[in-house]
Amino acid sequence: MTLHDVFSPSFLNDLHIVDWGYTEDPCPLSFDHYDQWVQNEGHGPLNYLADERKDKRADIRHFFPEFKSSLVFLFSYSDKKAQLNNFYENNPNSNGLKMASYALGFQGEDYHVKLRDGLKQISEKVKELYPSCLFSYSLDIQPVLERDLAFRAGLGWFGKNSMFISRKEGSFLMIGALFLSEKLDIKQKTRELDHCGTCTRCIDLCPTQAIDPLSKTLSASKCISTYTIELFKEDKVAPEGMEKAQGEIFGCDICQDVCPWNKKSLNAEKELDSPLIDFFLKRPVENVIEDLKGMSNREFKRSFKGSALERTGRRGLLKNIEFWQ
C-alpha cells in the first residue's frame, strides 16, 4: 500500500482537500523577495512577519530540525464562497455588510483548529506506513512561508495579489503541511508556471490600491483585511479608498472575486446556514451595532467562541461596522 492508496478521494474530500504534493526542499525560493518586502516595510503593522520569526522562515529546519520532506495540502472553502455569493445576491435579508468567505468555511470554525485536526488524521495514516517517522505540522501560525512551500510542491503559483493560485481550484484555499523526518517514495510534481499573464484585474480593482504591480506584493497598511482583522482598536484609521469597497467588516475577498482563475462554476446548491450570517449579515445594521455595544467582551467571546471572528473581537468589529454607517 502507498500513500496514493491511503489518500483516497473520499478521505481527502472529507477533509476539504482538493490537491496535495510533496517536496524535499526545506528552503523557500522567495525568501529574498520576502526579506526585501519586510525591509521596505510592506508588512506595516504586522510585526509578527518582521520580528525574530522572519529569519526562521529561511529554512524549515529552523522550526523542525529533523526535516527531510513535506506533504503539502490545499484545503478548499470555495463551496462556502459560492453560498455566500448566493446570499449576497439573492437573499432579501442581506443588510449590505460582507465578510471574507474563509470565516464561514470549515463549518464556520476557526480554520486553524479544523485544519490542524485534519493534518493530525493524515499524520496517523502516514504513521501506519512509516512507523519511525517524526512529524510536525504547519499552518499560517508557524514561521514558515506556506505559499512558497506549496509552490515547491508543484501545486500552483503566486498571483499578482500575492495569493496562491491553483489552476484547478483557484485561490479560495488554505495551505496546510506535514513535515516529516524521512524522505518518502513519492514523485515530486513539476513546479507550476505563472499563468497570470497580462491580467491586472486584482491590481486595478483593489479599492485601496494595496497591490504593487511591479513586485507583486501587498502593502499590509493599505489592505482592507489588515484593517478589519488585525487592528482591534476603535481609533485606527481606515486605509484611503476603503469607502469604495463593498461593506467589508471582516477580511476582504475583492482581489480574489475578480480573478479569472476563480470564475469556474462554484457549487451553491445548499443555502448557507451560519450563526455569523444570522447575527452580522441578516439583521438591520443598527441592531447589530446596538447588540455589540450592549455585550461585554466576555459575552462576545462566549457567543462566537471557536470562530475566526474571535481574533478581531467585539471592539474591532464595532469599529469595522460603524465605518459603514
Average pLDDT over residues 310-317: 94
More confident: 84 or 266: 84
What is the number of other CB atoms lying within 10 angstroms of the CB of residue 90? Answer: 10
Q: Are 247 and 153 in contact (CB under 8 A)?
A: no
Distance, CA of 13 to CA of 210 (rounded, Å): 34
Q: Tell me: the pLDDT tens digits for 148-206?
A: 999 999 999 999 999 999 999 999 999 999 999 999 999 999 999 999 999 999 999 99
Mean of the pLDDT values across residues 198-227? 95
The tens digit of pLDDT for each residue in 131-154 reads 999 999 999 889 999 999 999 999
- Would you call 32 a catalytic residue per the annotation? no
pTM of this prediction? 0.95
Question: What is the pLDDT of the chain when averaged over all its residues?
Answer: 94
* pLDDT 10s digits, 20-73: 999 999 999 999 999 999 999 999 999 999 999 999 999 999 999 999 999 999
> Is the pLDDT confidence value at 264 over 90?
no
Mean pLDDT of 82-93: 92
Q: What is the DSSP string of 192-261?
A: PPP--TT--HHHHT-TT--EETTTTEE-GGG-HHIIIII--STTPPPPTTGGGS--EEE---HHHHT-GG
Confidence category of residue 271, pLDDT binned at 50, 70, 90: confident
pLDDT at 66: 98
pLDDT at 218 (0 to 100) = 95
The phi, psi pair for 207, rounded to 5°, reads -65, -25
Mean pLDDT along residues 245-258: 96
- Hey, is 147 helix, strand or coil? helix
Please report the pLDDT score of residue 268 as a whole number.
Answer: 58
**Interatomic CA distance for residues 161 and 315, integer angstroms:** 29
Lowest mean pLDDT among 105-114, 180-189, 274-283: 105-114
Q: Of 25, 35, 110, 140, which residue is the catalytic one?
A: 140
Q: With beta carbons less than 8 A apart as the criterion, state whether 301 and 310 touch.
A: yes
% of residues, the chain, pLDDT over 70 = 98
Give the distance, in angstroms, between the CA of residue 170 and the centroid of all CA atoms in the same chain.
13
- pLDDT tier at 93, thresholds 50, 70, 90: very high
What is the Cα–Cα distance from 140 to 175, expressed in whole angstroms? 8
- Which pLDDT band holds residue 235 (cuts at 50, 70, 90)? confident
* pLDDT of res. 232: 85
Quick check: 266 pLDDT over 80?
Answer: no
pLDDT-derived band at 269 (thresholds 50, 70, 90) equals: low
Q: 269: which residues sit within 8 A by CB, 6+ positions away?
A: none
pLDDT recorded at residue 1: 73
